[in-house]
Structure 1
Amino acid sequence: LSGESGAGKTVAAKYIMSYISKVSGGGPRVQHVKDIILQSNPLLEAFGNAKTVRNNNSSRFGKYVEIQFSSGGEPDGGKISNFLLEKSRVVMRNPGERSFHIFYQLIEGANGDQKSSLGITKLDYYSYLNQSGSYKVDDINDKHDFQETLHAMDVIGISGMDRTLVLQIVAGILHLGNIGFKEAGNYAAVENDEFLAFPAFLLGIDQHRLKEKLTSRKIDGKWGGKSESIDVTLNVEQACFTRDALSKALHARVFDYLVESINKAMVKDHQELNIGVLDIYGFEIFQKNGFEQFCINFVNEKLQQIFIELTLKAEQEEYVQEGIRWTPIEYFNNKIVCDLIESKVNPPGMMSILDDVCATMHAKGEGADQTMLQKLRMQINNHEHFNSWNQGFIIHHYAGKVSYDAEGFCERNRDVLFTDLIELMQSRELPSHRHAVVDSVTKQANDLVSTLMKCTPHYIRCIKPNETKKPKDWEESRVKHQVEYLGLKENIRVRRAGYAYRRVFRKFLNRYAILTMESWPTWRGDERQGVLHLLRSVNMDQDQYQLGHTKIFIKAPESLFLLEETRERKFDGYARAIQTAWRKYCARKKYVQMREEASDLLLNRKERRRHSLNRNFVGDYLGMDDRPELRQFVGKREKIDFADKVNKFDRRFKSIKRDLILTPKSVYLIGREKVKQGPEKGMVKEVLKRKIDVEKIMAVSLSTMQDDFMILHEEEYDSLLECVFKTEFISLLARRYEERTQKKLPLKFSTTLEMKLKKEGWGPWNAGGSRQVQFIQGQGDVAGLRPSNKMLQVSIGPGLPKNSRPTKKGITQSRPSMSRTHHHTPTRVAPGPPAIAHQNGGLKNANHAANQRNSQHHSNRRPTSENTAHPFLPTNVSQLKDRGRRQAPQQTNLDFLKVPDQGAAGAHRQSTNRPTPGGGRPKPAPKPKPQVPQCKALYAYDAQDTDELSFNADDIIDISKEDASGWWTGRLRGKQGLFPNNYVTKI
């Protein structure tokens, strides 16, 4: 990841590691490694990140995180390498910046006991923190982050004792900074011995020894073959340098210890595969740029060189190796800048000159920076990427010119830790640290480059849109500059001049094998021919690709998009086929389950009709989607569970047509009445006759026979209905009733049912009363009705046994939903012959079911072969032959075939002389058709949705509408629909 400071590299790295953690599986060991990888971020950020003027959470160190994978692709190990920790930030920084986060976290987040034992007080008490005047950051909660840091230590496996020691060293560093020095003669002396107590206590060393080693040091020498140790007293500048060197070394050692602990927690004994994420501080340009910016920008120069070597240069070399024809592109190779800084040959690089000056520094550091500047002017002043000025120098980096202030360069580069301090802190096992910083920077940068050169790099370029640290703020000139110096322009030019996509033949064949039958699942012939076969299948122009020795190169992204789109459409088509099969299976399973549940409600309680036992449940038999006149009575978002025409019987057992609708909340009975007044007088309109809430239904009564009658019992009055699909209705009603009441729907079965009537007036003499419906054994499958005073007698033949259940056969065809048409094929047998007529009982004939059902459901339906018995030819044909021989031959009369007499009307027509149409003049020419824009299909296209057009190559399509989305509207072969404009060309 590369980019300026504050461009988002660290956040992007965390996203990458979080993504890898989430998409990879594994057991407890793998999960442990994942947790450590994720928790290492807040821990290392606490000790290695700080606020700068350009970034509130700037990484002041570089890290290379290796996530190691098993052969199965599971992250089972890892390693973190840290580079170039900016130790000098512990003791000094620019105005408006902070030291490392951990110091502020400790002060804000420590509890009472910790504050007491560590000597924690206010932020401005500590000299190391109050020098820049910046303590708080708007978007950082130090108190909360401190708890995250402690939690990260627990996850990584740092014990409670070690965690306490780490916090003691952090607090000890702060207290060390408060030790001041004064001149005593020509030597340094501690200003106040009280400030020695806490750092000595926290670091576990003797207070007097600490005082001694901060103000003096031993020098070992040889005189005449004998070794002698001489105590040399330090001046104030040297004492301050020694104190700061100890503080920096302590923080660096703690940081190294944390990295080592993380690596131990996820160590792996052997190497397999790994993904490395490099997050290092980005290119920095401040108002005043010092030694730290010099080191940081040098490392970024080295990384840019890798980008050039592995991308721009390697890109062009690959074309040569594969024998691809192309035009070379010029680009800036920053190796000349890297040599300017790190070269060790004549002329020497800037780092070599800096080391030479630091090696000759004595007690006083004054004048060393100017000496370095003079040597730079003498050695490299003529270099085209170097300029000097009064107080510093300018380097022409790949990201632009950077002006460096030479003040403090030599002092910050020395970073010497004397032997006295090493012996003093021996219990902490502090390592000897005698080399200059630039030596370390050069070595670490070169080691990093060597590691990266062994990998296959993938670059993430982070762009910083503004310097205000605010969202939706855009500085175009800044963004353009970053795009330019990050090498994106050269990269794009190389890609445009060459080929944006390249793949090895085998990988290309594997990815696009689905495009043709010949290549799926594996191409068995020559790989080169297989690639050509796939390219021809999508009609790709020959100038859009080249075949190298082992790879295919595709020039334009649009050509690659063509391949990808065709591939996606293939997958989409197969996915739709799989979805269709799966949905069909689920629907079948659902309907079988619904049918069995409905059958269980009536099992061993009611006889069943022969043709209703195995039928599908459709639900909406009225086509409610196309019936707004019925939909108006139902809620806008209410689902229609059931809708059908039924017969409703009044107190005189007179049959009236009603529409029965069931929703999850209510049962509706809708009738029709003639409007008696108003503008719609005389028109027949739908009227809501009754609405019953599902939870208010008290019970449903049915007979034990195969009839279609049922009574809905409600507290006010009951409704007697005859419903052809009663089993489906009752099963859905039972489900909704249980959902709303958490109870089973009461079902009553008897041969005598009682119905409570509606009150017609007020007072006891207008009570509703009741009626009875009695069921008796009759003949046939059609119910015969015989009403008397307060009883309706229903006779019907025997049906299937009460223990009948649906068969396990495939789902039979039932009548379709009326959402598209109102004409249905009946699923029931035709009615039988009329029975005895009753003139005074409210029925004109006893064939009630025939009249009612024909008027409700079957008025214009054709019988199907499923419902009608198949006829058989008679086997005894001798009678027919004898009958034919006995009949005398007669002459056939064909007069009935003549044209009939036209009568008076015909005579009148013949007597009327009509004029010739048009007076014999020729017909006028047809009106010219309007000219419409047309286009020609370049490729064949299969419609993926109902509103799209399908066409073949070279088809001519009339354009109705052009749209900026890329989907045009057109007409082809009488059908209008959408089509993609990148498949056609205008004519």
Structure 2
Amino acid sequence: TAADIISCIAEKLGLEAPNELELAEVVQNASGEECKERRLGPSEYPVALQLLWPQEDTHCFSLRKRLGPPTTSHLDPTLDAQLLRDQFLRFLCFQPRDREYPDLCQLPDLTERTLLENLRARFSRGYIYTYVGSILIAVNPFKFYPIYNPKYVGLYQNRRLGDLPPHIFAVADAAYHAMLRGRSSQCIVISGESGSGKTESTNLLLHHLTALSQKGSYGRGVEQTILSAGPVLEAFGNAKTKHNNNSSRFGKFIQVNYRENGMVHGAVVQKYLLEKSRIVSHAKNERNYHVFYYLLAGASDAEKRELHLTAPEDYHYLNQSQCYKVEGTDEAFEYMRLTQSMEMVGFSADKRKKLIRVLSAVLHLGNIEFSKKSTYHSDEAVQVKNPDVLSLIASLLGVKEETLNSALTTKRAKAPGETVVISYKMPEAIATRDAMAKCLYGALFDWIVMQVNHSLLSAKDFREHRGNSIGVLDIFGFEDFGDHNSFEQFCINFANEHLQNYFNQHVFKYEQEEYQKEGIQWKNIDFTDNTLCLSLIEGRPHGLLCLLNDQCNFSGATNAMLLQKFQNQHKTNQFYEVPQKRENAFLIKHYAGKVKYQIRDFKEKNVDLMRPDVVMVLKSSSVALVRELVGADPVAVFRWAILRAFFRSYYAFQRSSRARTNGNIKRSLTYKGNESPASRQTTSPRRPLSAVNTSPGNIGSRTSMYGVESFLGANEARVLERANQILVKNRHTRTRSRVDKGLKNLQSVKTVVGRTQQQPHRTGRKQPPTVTAQFQVSLHHLMEALGQANPFFVRCIKSNADKVPCMFDETVILQQLRYTGMLETVRIRQAGYSVRLPSEEFIQRYRVLLPRGLLSSRNDIRDFLLRMNLDRNNYQMGKTKVFLRESEKLKLDENLHLEILRRIITVQRYIRVWFLRRKFLQLRSTVIRLQAYSRGHLLRRQLAQQKMQHEAATVIQRAWRSYLNSRWFVQLRHRVVPFQGACRGYLVRNRIKMQQREESVEKFRTSRSRGSDSRLSNGRLSSRELKTQRSIDSEENSGVNDDSENDNPVFEGSTGTASPPVSPVPRAPLAREESTFRDKTALIHMLSTSEASNLQIRSREPSKMPIRKCLSEIA
């Protein structure tokens, strides 16, 4: 804010008492002298004001000491000052007479001179927009101002008219929010002369409307399509004229449909009266349509070679005026921009290629020249002089050269029983050629508009839109080319008469009729009414258009006869005049002045028929787009296309099936087992049919197993490939919220055609409707659409006739202000009541200010208005409505705003108390829970510490016991290991000795048994031997080792005869935890005896003893 900036500056510069400083907005003149200033309040935003300054260095901020209190009287300090920059000046106590006013209704002295001077002053400061109430005046500076960037888009969003300086964005925002508040459709009517900036204003309005719909989310489909449709339509429908470098040669009404939430739901573009004559001829210093120059400058080299495109000087339709360039326009860049816009609108690459072929064919048509076949004067039959150009056109359009040549040079007339071929004369052949070019381009433009409408069509919007909408009308401006006005200017000015009548009715007629109906005090204001002029043009049955259409129904009628009828019927009409000198022309007094129209070609241009022979040639074209262009009904064309595609597919599959049946399938590979080609061939997007090598030369290759031409013809293969592409596309396409941008179903085609084309009612006659009949119907539908909507008017003013930047031509501007009735408009806006509210709506809107129990009677409302201290001259009470001027409405709105703020503050106070109370309760509850959690946590931590100490003590005890046991075990092991080694050694040696003893005993027994046996057999055994044998046998029977009792025998020494064991068992090591011994005394005795000692093994009861005790005893 200004206060923040002052504090910052004072801090930086070390100034004292920043409260005594203030900022002022200063305006300087060319010499640098201060001529005007405005003091800023502390809550205003200087940066926001700086964004609104013009480029010239005439504005600055001045920091100075405060001179006194601000001079504002009605502004409340709580209001946002940024919204009231111009309202600030409106409520100043002192207003200098040399200042400019953003609203012409604020002029203290209303005259033509003050009105013009106010516009001049604002124009010199860079303010090209001025209000007249809710009407916007836009003066075209022929220069770009940086006031349309996204900052301004955001600045003017959700603002009332008058809150900020006048701007085209403010009108768009007002229409948008009026639609949302009132749930009713709105329209913005842009009118003005040719070259006044209507097209640019339309683009800016659409840009802001789409920005409001997007809510900061850019890139949505419908909004981007609406913005992209503009460059496409301008390229094909705009051209350079004497008065305008980008003149719209057709009218368009763009109706943007919205949902209830304010988001764009779809849009419709309706076109009016394309100027076809510009295709074949145009005046000096003018050009043909932009798209031809874009194409020749931006097409690639390959496209130029394919289409035989050269420079514009080489084409008859482009070199007539010797004007090829537009200053400041890069044709190549515009072509690239056009291509990108068409792609975003929905034109595929194939469609764009076909479209360019038609455009090049139109260009080459103009280069066809004719010559006489014979030198005889009586023979005027013609032939094509340059057949190479004819052949090129035939190839571009996909027709036969012979049939095209015949259609351009001859015509067929049907006689009873025969058909007569008549050769054209030179003028007729040229007219046929030009008619073909105009027809092709006109049909192409209609097709483009239909494609644009289809891309703007919503998915479920097949029926008429019944929601809210905002329509933007950009129609051709009023034109007067002096002595060169023709049929096109007549139709254009007729449309402008309708718009002026619509403006008069809403601004003057309806408003004053409402004042009289409500019975308020009012003095009628005279205005120029053009109703009689419209009756002259379209009145029935003798209006100019009716006479023109009647003459077109007679083949023998001429333009001279038409002019004679005009004069006979309307020579006494005050709006019709006959030229003073004798010429084939007539004059009409339009609201903008007298205009002279040349009657030449009126009848031909009104009929605008193409020769039937030419139509038949184009219908026989091999290019689907060309056939579609000349089709009488797009719905029928689409149905026929579906039917033709069905039968082609049917016969393609039938031929492929017949080929399989006849065994003509060629397979280069065999498949194993049950594997079939279908199981290997896939239609996945990873390997589409188009990527497969299906050329005839590769039938025997490995890729033929995936191809189709190996067993199908080329046509059938293409059909299947196309079917596969459709399958792949459908498989990977998600359901979208909008219809696909290609014409996919019959219902969408019907909807688009119904919205694009508005055909007049057919009569019983066979003649097709004339141009004026179609134009009247379209204007009738347009006026109906405008009549059902709440209008906003934008009056575009041309600053000068020479297109010089920043030049203010008083004569040109004053003339426009006069014929548009701007002075009367300002006067009725000043004296009238711009706010007209029914009593119920008034109470509903200001119920916050009204006392409780107030009824909707006139007395109650009058008492309320008196209580609000309003100026009695600025409001009146009608029978059913309350009439207010804008100033009084602003006062009521300010009071309403303050009262709402007061109540909001009260509600906020209670809500803050409730929030603080709830916060306190939550905080207290949280603290209590935290305390409980803290106490529990402390106790749990104390218990955990005690538990940890107990576990630590247990661990220490266990470790100490383990240490003691480990130390004893180490000592024991240190002492036992040598003893174990000795024991093991002893046992091993003893085992070996026992084995040796057993072997010796066995040998002894063997030898003894042999001797005893021999002696026994001889009876020689002695008594000693017998005794010894018996003792041995008794020992064996007694058993030296009883295995059933114990596996560990105990040895005991004896003095008797040695008796070794029969089968000794290996001893277990003494290192085991527990060893069993039979008798410890026997073991000690065994260790003490010598090897020769007698050992006696006896079996005893096992005695188990721990090793520690056993070893201690042994030790």
TM-score (norm 1): 0.54
Conservation of the 8 A alpha-carbon contact between 2:843 and 2:850: no
Q: Deviation string for 1:431-480 (max 9, x for gaps)? A: 45954323333332223223322322222111111112123211122222
Conservation of the 8 A alpha-carbon contact between 2:840 and 2:856: no
Q: Which residue of 2 aligns with 1:282?
A: 477
Larger fraction in strand: 1
Q: Which residue of 2 aligns with 1:70?
A: 259
Whichever of the two has the greater Rg, that structure is 2
Pairing 1:761-776 to 2, within 5 Å after superposition: none
Pairing 1:155-166 to 2, within 5 Å after superposition: 155-166=344-355
Q: What's the Cα RMSD here?
A: 3.2
CA separation of 1:567 and 1:28: change in aligned 2, threshold 3 A: closer
Q: Deviation string for 1:477-516 (max 9, x for gaps)? A: 22222122223333333334432322234554555566x4
- Give the structure, 1 or 2, with the largest relative contact order (CA under 8 Å, sep 6 or more): 2
CA separation of 1:290 and 1:34: change in aligned 2, threshold 3 A: same
Q: Which residue of 2 aligns with 1:559?
A: 888
Does residue 785 of structure 2 align to residue 451 of structure 1?
Answer: yes
> Helix, strand or coil for the counterpart of 2:564?
helix
CA distance, structure 2, for counterparts of residue 190 and residue 308 of structure 1: 55
- Residue 189 of structure 1 is aligned with which of 383, 389, 410? 383
Conservation of the 8 A alpha-carbon contact between 2:592 and 2:820: yes
CA distance, structure 2, for counterparts of residue 94 and residue 576 of structure 1: 68
- Residue 173 of structure 1 is aligned with which of 328, 348, 362? 362
User: 2:205 corresponds to which letter in structure 1?
Assistant: I
CA distance, structure 2, for counterparts of residue 190 and residue 420 of structure 1: 16
> Helix, strand or coil for the counterpart of 1:178?
coil
CA distance, structure 2, for counterparts of residue 380 and residue 563 of structure 1: 54
Q: Tell me the CA shift for residue 22 of structure 1.
A: 0.5
Q: Which residue of 1 aligns with 2:523?
A: 327
Conservation of the 8 A alpha-carbon contact between 1:84 and 1:444: no
CA distance, structure 2, for counterparts of residue 179 and residue 581 of structure 1: 86
CA separation of 1:531 and 1:69: change in aligned 2, threshold 3 A: farther
Larger fraction in helix: 2
CA separation of 1:190 and 1:273: change in aligned 2, threshold 3 A: same
> Helix, strand or coil for the counterpart of 1:182?
strand
Conservation of the 8 A alpha-carbon contact between 1:327 and 1:498: no
> Helix, strand or coil for the counterpart of 1:320?
helix
CA distance, structure 2, for counterparts of residue 205 and residue 298 of structure 1: 40
- Residue 432 of structure 2 is aligned with which of 239, 242, 251? 242
Q: Tell me the CA shift for residue 416 of structure 1.
A: 1.5
- Residue 544 of structure 1 is aligned with which of 874, 879, 882? 874
Q: Tell me the CA shift for residue 565 of structure 1.
A: 4.7
CA separation of 1:9 and 1:577: change in aligned 2, threshold 3 A: farther
Pairing 1:465-864 to 2, within 5 Å after superposition: 465-509=799-843, 512=846, 516=849, 518=851, 526=856, 531-532=861-862, 535-555=865-885, 557-566=886-895
- Residue 306 of structure 2 is aligned with which of 102, 109, 117? 117
Q: Which residue of 2 aligns with 1:131?
A: 320
User: 1:192 corresponds to which letter in structure 2?
Assistant: N
User: 1:187 corresponds to which letter in structure 2?
Assistant: A
User: 1:259 corresponds to which letter in structure 2?
Assistant: V
Q: Tell me the CA shift for residue 75 of structure 1.
A: 0.7
Q: Which residue of 1 aligns with 2:745?
A: none
Q: Which residue of 1 aligns with 2:281?
A: 92
CA distance, structure 2, for counterparts of residue 216 and residue 344 of structure 1: 39
Does residue 586 of structure 2 align to residue 393 of structure 1?
Answer: yes
Q: Which residue of 2 aligns with 1:379?
A: 569
CA separation of 1:172 and 1:572: change in aligned 2, threshold 3 A: farther
Q: Tell me the CA shift for residue 313 of structure 1.
A: 1.6
Single out whichever of 61-70 and 428-437 deviates more from structure 2.
428-437
CA separation of 1:146 and 1:578: change in aligned 2, threshold 3 A: farther
CA distance, structure 2, for counterparts of residue 26 and residue 440 of structure 1: 40
Q: Tell me the CA shift for residue 208 of structure 1.
A: 1.6
CA separation of 1:28 and 1:493: change in aligned 2, threshold 3 A: closer
Q: Which residue of 2 aligns with 1:293?
A: 489
CA separation of 1:3 and 1:573: change in aligned 2, threshold 3 A: farther
- Residue 336 of structure 1 is aligned with which of 521, 532, 539? 532
Q: Which residue of 1 aligns with 2:503?
A: 307
Q: Which residue of 1 aligns with 2:399?
A: 205
Q: Which residue of 2 aligns with 1:57?
A: 246
Conservation of the 8 A alpha-carbon contact between 2:307 and 2:357: yes
CA separation of 1:582 and 1:49: change in aligned 2, threshold 3 A: farther
Conservation of the 8 A alpha-carbon contact between 1:60 and 1:281: yes
Q: Tell me the CA shift for residue 314 of structure 1.
A: 1.1
Q: Deviation string for 1:900-957 (max 9, x for gaps)? A: xxxxxxxxxxxxxxxxxxxxxxxxxxxxxxxxxxxxxxxxxxxxxxxxxxxxxxxxxx
Q: Deviation string for 1:573-620 (max 9, x for gaps)? A: 89999999999xxxxxxxxxxxxxxxxxxxxxxxxxxxxxxxxxxxxx
Conservation of the 8 A alpha-carbon contact between 1:176 and 1:247: yes
CA distance, structure 2, for counterparts of residue 416 and residue 422 of structure 1: 10
Q: Deviation string for 1:713-734 (max 9, x for gaps)? A: xxxxxxxxxxxxxxxxxxxxxx
CA distance, structure 2, for counterparts of residue 181 and residue 361 of structure 1: 26
Conservation of the 8 A alpha-carbon contact between 1:509 and 1:530: no
Does residue 408 of structure 2 align to residue 214 of structure 1?
Answer: yes
Conservation of the 8 A alpha-carbon contact between 1:91 and 1:244: yes
> Helix, strand or coil for the counterpart of 2:282?
coil
CA distance, structure 2, for counterparts of residue 30 and residue 531 of structure 1: 49
Identity %: 35
Conservation of the 8 A alpha-carbon contact between 2:839 and 2:856: no
User: 2:449 corresponds to which letter in structure 1?
Assistant: V
- Residue 441 of structure 2 is aligned with which of 246, 251, 257? 251
CA distance, structure 1, for counterparts of residue 773 and residue 354 of structure 2: 31
User: 2:462 corresponds to which letter in structure 1?
Assistant: D
CA distance, structure 2, for counterparts of residue 562 and residue 26 of structure 1: 31
- Residue 350 of structure 1 is aligned with which of 535, 544, 552? 544
CA separation of 1:242 and 1:434: change in aligned 2, threshold 3 A: farther
Q: Tell me the CA shift for residue 357 of structure 1.
A: 4.1
Q: Tell me the CA shift for residue 29 of structure 1.
A: 12
Q: Deviation string for 1:720-772 (max 9, x for gaps)? A: xxxxxxxxxxxxxxxxxxxxxxxxxxxxxxxxxxxxxxxxxxxxxxxxxxxxx
Q: Deviation string for 1:159-207 (max 9, x for gaps)? A: 1111111111111100011101123321121121111122111111111
> Helix, strand or coil for the counterpart of 1:76?
strand
Does residue 205 of structure 2 align to residue 16 of structure 1?
Answer: yes
Conservation of the 8 A alpha-carbon contact between 1:180 and 1:190: yes
Conservation of the 8 A alpha-carbon contact between 1:127 and 1:177: yes
Q: Tell me the CA shift for residue 66 of structure 1.
A: 0.9
- Residue 229 of structure 1 is aligned with which of 397, 410, 419? 419
Q: Tell me the CA shift for residue 257 of structure 1.
A: 1.1
Q: Deviation string for 1:677-717 (max 9, x for gaps)? A: xxxxxxxxxxxxxxxxxxxxxxxxxxxxxxxxxxxxxxxxx
> Helix, strand or coil for the counterpart of 1:425?
helix
> Helix, strand or coil for the counterpart of 1:463?
strand
User: 1:379 corresponds to which letter in structure 2?
Assistant: Q
